[in-house]
Amino acid sequence: MKHQFLKVAAASPEMKVADPAFNAKKIVGIIEEQAEKGTELLVFPELCLSGYTCGDLFLQQTLLDGCLAALKTVAEATKGKKMLVFVGLPVAFEGKIYNCAAAVTGGKVSGVIPKTHLPNYGEFYEARYFAPAPEGSHVLCIGDEYAYFDRNFIVYDIHRPEFAVACEICEDLWTSESPSGQHCRHGATVIVNLSASNETIGKREYRKTLIAAQSGKNLCAYVYADAGVGESTSDMVFAGNNLIYENGVCLAESLPFSGETAEAEVDVGFLLHERRKLNTFCQNTKKDDWLDADFVGEDDLTLRRFPQLPFVPQGKELEKRCGLILSMQSSALARRLSHTHSKTAVIGVSGGLDSSLALLVTCRAFDLLGKDRGDIIALTMPGFGTSLKTKNNALSIMQAAGVTIRNVPIGGAVNRHFRDIEHDPENRDTVYENAQARYRTMVLMDVANETGGLVIGTGDMSELALGWCTYNGDHMSMYAVNSSVPKTLVKSLVAYEAKRLGGRMEVVLKSVLNTEISPELLPPDETGNIAQKTEDIVGPYELHDFYLWCFLRRGYSPAKTLYIAERTFAEKYDRETLKKWLVSFYKRFFAQQFKRNCVPDGVKVGSVSLSPRADLRMPSDASASLWVREAEKL
């Protein structure tokens, strides 16, 4: 599949206990269905050719022979298909019987993996029938063909070796030293688990916790296929819990007793990116255990969906996450205020989103410390571009918060500065805009010195990414509470706090949320409305936040980023618009690194931070040429 995605599926076929021919027929039917969908890796449950609940029938040669014949039927069904299939069966080898998974592709059995850990407790008596996996690599005869018999081998695509698949079987996952840990250290990026895990109250949740943890700590994709309702119900019932995880995140699951097939497209490129980032992930590839295959195609994504706002949780999780982030911000600020013995906190409030959030966080911090909110000195500093709406928003939110309000108009002082440096105020250039931002910062710093306080920074992570801040102006503060909060998340945080606080504060915060995003450094239009709209200049923040997430969190190339953006924003933006702002993102991000390399302290609240002391160590003069050229050629 394109851009290092792999289409995988886990299925629980209809089956009959001890009827390998019937079971093989049902499995072949699913193989044909999944081949039509472009599935490249398909996993079936433990002992699916025989049934897991055969009991002493496992000791019958007739059943063992029937399973090998069924395996050949399944293998034949993969001929001419770009697909790697895993099926479970009992296998006799050197006088013992093993609970095995067979890897099948291209019409042949590539290898057979015996189960390492055998349960022998409660309702499970596998040790009565099966032997644990032997050490070393062996050769197994299957009719007139031979296959590797080894618990450690990894199947990789001969054209795309990063698609490396290893296997463990049911109980292997539940043990303290699961084979999948070693497989991943040896280079496997995808783990399959053929399982027959019966259903009891609470077991589904525990099973999901295990798989999430295993895929997360091993930085792998995990495809879990579970036995379904065709198994014997003499003492147990099986629900067909098919699950697909990627780095701890569930991508797909089937409902219990539904007979559904779980399907997903796992991002192997992202897994490799995560492994490169963590030097605690120790990889020691043993190529002796690798078997080549040809199972990866070039189909487009059909299942995978990416959120348009990747930094903003959806549904019920949003409210919980917003509360946690605000607690992190306020607790961090409270610690800094306490450590510096600050008497006051000084903050510029413009009536926009960022400064409103910073003020809300500061109020929370003062409440944590038991300090009087009157020691929060909030300044409104109207300039040439300040609109009546934002000025009223600023005054209203400060009044509702119960803080000390200061009004310091800056127009006269900035005009005197223009005369001093002989700048024509009719020339609305960068000097005209930045002089206002820097003067406001000077006022804040002087008031903080005067009152023994700290200047609280208001700028967010999206502005830092794009360099949409004035160097040594709003770029600078004494503690930056929003520095790792992207613009798309700022809105959610303000909305959450509005709902929580209610009353007058809710009314004014809703007005803030409905205000155009603007630095307000150019005069309003003839009707008094905001003339300078940020997103008209730098582009939509929802796109830039999405690109930032793709670039830093996922490690995507420009081509992969645009490919995914086209599918994610198909109903909002055409390809040329997406490409335009992608090129702009790379140019701005690289060119503005010098601002990020000297940012003030600020708490990291999410998976991405632009602080040179936390996540991003990048020289200020790094070239964007590679990224820009690739994006421009798309």
Which residues are designated catalytic? 46, 115, 170
User: What does the alpha-carbon distance between residue 373 and residue 379 come to, in Å, rounded to a whole number?
Assistant: 14
User: DSSP letters along 442-489, please?
Assistant: HHHHHHHHHHTEEEEE---HHHHHHT-S-TTTTT--SEETTTT--HHH
H helices of 295-346, where?
316-339
Distance, C-alpha 274 to centroid of its chain: 11
User: What does the alpha-carbon distance between residue 399 and residue 522 come to, in Å, rounded to a whole number?
Assistant: 27
Please give the structure tokens belonging to residue 634: 């798309």
Within 8 A by CB and 6+ apart from 493, the residues are 322, 325, 326, 357, 360, 485
Q: b/e map of 371-392 (b: 16 or more CB within 10 Å)? A: beeebbbbbbbbbbbbbebbbe
Residue with token string 């007793």: 257
Q: Nearest 5 degrees, angle CA 149-CA 153-CA 154?
A: 140
User: What does the alpha-carbon distance between residue 101 and residue 223 come to, in Å, rounded to a whole number?
Assistant: 14
Taken in order 481, 485, 486, 492, the sign of the CA dihedral is negative
Q: Are 478 and 600 in contact (CB under 8 A)?
A: yes
The CB density around residue 10, as the number of other CB atoms within 10 Å, is 32
Write phi, then psi, for 482 (nearest 5 degrees): -105, 10
User: What does the alpha-carbon distance between residue 481 and residue 357 come to, in Å, rounded to a whole number?
Assistant: 9
User: What does the alpha-carbon distance between residue 131 and residue 66 come to, in Å, rounded to a whole number?
Assistant: 20
